[in-house]
A and B are shown apart, each in its own frame.
Chain A
Amino acid sequence: DIEMTQSPSTLSASVGDRVTIVCRASQSITSYLNWYQQKPGDAPKLLIYAASTLHSGVPSRFSGSGSGTDFTLTISSLQPEDFATYYCQNSYTIPLTFGGGTKVELK
């Protein structure tokens, strides 16, 4: 199985901050990496697919980059509605696997 490791597990930030979350795959997944946002009590929501393609309706302050084993999700200017948990997901091979999550909380 491809293991997905996210860092940090928790990130404290303020509104307006630039935030970067890292996701590392245990082997190359080329660009088959997706990012999701989840708020308490809700299902995850797709933000970015194929490492860097913004899903329809997602604000442009979200961006993704990377390929191979190292990926990043960046929020250029954190908004109040962005406090949530973020997950990366390997879509390269079965079994599909998720990172452990990064909780973005208010500093």
Chain B
Amino acid sequence: QVQLQESGPGLVKPSQTLSLTCTVSGGSISTDTYYCNWIRQTAGKGLEWLGRIYTTGRTNHNPSLESRVTISVDTSKNQFSLKLTSVTAEDTAVYFCAREVYGWDSGSWYFDLWGRGTLVTVSS
């Protein structure tokens, strides 16, 4: 059974870079095909999609974050990573990684598996 687990520092200083990892267990990124998404949640802005990477390496990002977001994949470690640069207090949130798969029965994509999320606080 595939599981996702986010990890990384819980506290980041303003102007620094937030770095998180999503480790996939119970499956192989090298052989499976899906998008790994990064989504964050705050009480004020709700659920916000940050971006995604296909297991082959193709990426999409939320234009609202401009060039601050970098998403990558490391097949040797079975991990996806998120980097968010120049953080401010507004980047304080619970960060989730979520698997997005294609439903051949419906022709649509959806998030069928989520990590438990990790709280990142931006503060000096």
Binding site for B on A (CB under 8 A): 1, 31-32, 34, 36, 42-46, 49-50, 53, 55, 87, 89, 91, 94-101
A-B contact count (CB 8 A): 64
4 A-B pairs with least C-beta separation: A50-B106, A43-B114, A49-B110, A98-B47
CB-CB under 8 A from B116, the residues of chain A are 42-43
CB-CB under 8 A from A89, the residues of chain B are 47, 110-111
- 14 A-B pairs whose Cβ atoms sit less than 8 Å apart in the complex: A34-B108, A34-B110, A34-B111, A43-B98, A44-B111, A45-B114, A50-B106, A50-B107, A55-B112, A87-B47, A95-B49, A97-B49, A98-B49, A100-B46
CB-CB under 8 A from B107, the residues of chain A are 50
Over the window 50-79 of chain B, the binary record of Cβ atoms lying under 8 Å from chain A Cβ atoms (1 yes, 0 no) is 001000000010111000000000000000
Residue B80 at the chain A interface, CB threshold 8 Å: no
Contact B103 A53 (CB under 8 A): yes
CB-CB under 8 A from A95, the residues of chain B are 49, 62-64
Residue B32 at the chain A interface, CB threshold 8 Å: no
Residue of B nearest to A49 (CB): B110
CB-CB under 8 A from A55, the residues of chain B are 110, 112
Contact B105 A46 (CB under 8 A): no
CB-CB under 8 A from A32, the residues of chain B are 108-109
Q: How far is the CA of A99 from the CA of B109 in the complex (A)?
A: 17
Q: How far is the CA of A34 from the CA of B112 in the complex (A)?
A: 10
Contact A31 B115 (CB under 8 A): no
CB-CB under 8 A from B109, the residues of chain A are 32, 91
Contact B46 A96 (CB under 8 A): no
Q: How far is the CA of A97 from the CA of B62 in the complex (A)?
A: 10
